[in-house]
Structure 1
């Protein structure tokens, strides 16, 4: 329930409500999908409403939270109602089913959706590295000799779901280390379960967000085997910048509601600029109460501090970025023939970002 302070706010009364029916997938306490509060009343939005699914509750998605909290979507004329889709695969499924106007999750999700016959398009980038490509294990195993990804041969790694972005990272990094066929990949369902499984020893490691890494370190038991902020390790494995999460919509939405897509992207761009110019502590102060339930303040600040190093400064996904993404997905999540179905020109439309930034 909203606090008494929010209960006095007209915008909170009109928009802080809950939707049920989606299984949890966050290291924060799981609860039903939530609509985040905005600033302007819904009836003032000249471009109508738009439900926007965010893959989970995590500081990684701060751009969406800031855009809602600061009223950037409403200022652009659109009543955007972000909700917790509680996983990337669920977000893309809801988008394809018409339950969402837009989604933010792993950038591999719209590619997979398009290959499945539902044309989706990336319209803005959030980052330049895949923030959930970290590999987390326990201090006990690390001290026992589990020092790098290659030493995971014959062991197990936890991911969210098969074919998810976390699954792709596990398979890709194992392949790069030459142990693809020697690593057991286990689908565990959500970040909370993954974290608990590593801590209890039911799996040897898991792909992890920085919030997960920080929580495990804070509790004194977690050690990273691979960190996306290690420039040498990242470039050795990925060759340069690769988009991790992004904003995407169906092509049909671009065709029928281009002004609404523009308003959505403009809100994200303004949030990106605000984040770049604002300290981690001030960012967390703005969004923690509504959007990061269950996270400790310092945990959130530490995560945002790291994400500021990898969040995109311009929200653009370039042909070079996309080519590296295809290198990651190719032969693992999609076949060479399927790659021909999803060229950059079909999958990425940066015209909305360019207009928002005055570059068009």
Structure 2
């Protein structure tokens, strides 16, 4: 091949590469993301993506709004003040049942990681979930996944959500204080709150979905937890943007798999440690099995969540949700190909 042809071929290759890169650039660089309780380990992949600059690498400027619970961030998405949300997968099923086309695009947590603990003052009298009847139970926020799990627990015993009182306690310090001050009889919460209350002896753990065994014991199978979800019309309008956000979070999942609890503790903001770095590292160790390894939600996991919601939610008992509409796997699959 002549030198001129070589140069022409190289130039064409560069143009194609540039065109491909341009085609993949996010259509919307400024993204508003909502989360309910960012400091909780349930949402660790989000904090890692932010702190390690993985969103910036994708050409994004992500503005994160942190709410008291996942139900609040869902409201922001529906209301139009947010573009995307990291929240519980179950919200996509609820919204589909209401005619709102909300879809998950990446699984962050394969187990809920939610723990139900009974306050030490009530621990001796607790024998089964039936004993939750009449209790004041702390949750991150009413309507959030921590609330839904207890609703399911009550339904398995023939009880309803109205048989207990649910109190939103937010995350971290406020949740710990609510138990220590005797404001609650029980709590349904996440790490690092649970490890702190366990170590101090303030609660007796009665349900634990931080492990595969505990998740199967409660649900009879897998149960996807935190996901990245978004409106279908946003996916259609900004597919490259959705892919870029997915890529950033997928890279965070891969980083978490390889990182030690010490490395993770050194990466998150100082205030996440609650003044006790070793405790936070213990909470990370307890939480590591919960994070998704593929970013993909299994069909059995979708069904398990839907079956759970039908147990206690009258609005969903007779619903006909097409579960394929609750998760779009294209973005997680693409992230696995392109993220290194």
Shorter-chain TM-score bucket reads: 0.7 to 0.9
Structure 1 alignment gaps of length 5 or more: 1-43
More helix by share: 2
Cα distance between partner residues in 2 of 1:322 and 1:67 = 25
Residue aligning to 2:87: 105
Whose relative contact order is higher, 1 or 2, with alpha carbons under 8 Å and at least 6 apart? 2
Aligned length, in residue pairs? 311
1:68 aligns with 2:63: no
CA displacement, residues 185-230 of structure 1 (integer Å, 9 cap, x when unaligned): 3233524555434333333212121322112123332221111145
Alignment of 1:1-360 (within 5 A): 47-56=28-37, 57-132=39-114, 134-142=115-123, 144-180=124-160, 183-191=163-171, 193-229=174-210, 231-289=212-270, 292=272, 294=274, 296-333=276-313, 334-338=315-319, 340=320, 342-358=321-337
Structure 2 alignment gaps of length 5 or more: 1-24
CA displacement, residues 116-151 of structure 1 (integer Å, 9 cap, x when unaligned): 34321101111111122x111223322x33244243
CA apart distance, 1:84 = 1.3
The DSSP-based 3-state class of the residue aligned with 1:123 is strand
Contact 1:149 1:226 survives alignment (8 Å): no
Cα distance between partner residues in 1 of 2:267 and 2:155 = 41
Contact 2:136 2:165 survives alignment (8 Å): yes
The DSSP-based 3-state class of the residue aligned with 2:234 is helix
Residue aligning to 1:12: none
Cα distance between partner residues in 2 of 1:247 and 1:304 = 21
TM-score relative to the length of structure 1:
0.79
CA displacement, residues 7-30 of structure 1 (integer Å, 9 cap, x when unaligned): xxxxxxxxxxxxxxxxxxxxxxxx
TM-score relative to the length of structure 2:
0.83
Cα distance between partner residues in 2 of 1:278 and 1:269 = 14
Evaluate the alpha carbon distance shift between residue 295 and residue 114 of structure 1 in structure 2; reply closer, same or farther with a 3 A threshold.
farther
Aligned-residue Cα RMSD (Å) equals 2.5
CA apart distance, 1:295 = 5.2
Cα distance between partner residues in 2 of 1:236 and 1:335 = 23
Evaluate the alpha carbon distance shift between residue 233 and residue 150 of structure 1 in structure 2; reply closer, same or farther with a 3 A threshold.
farther
Cα distance between partner residues in 2 of 1:147 and 1:210 = 24
Provide runs of 4+ in structure 1 moved above 6 Å. none
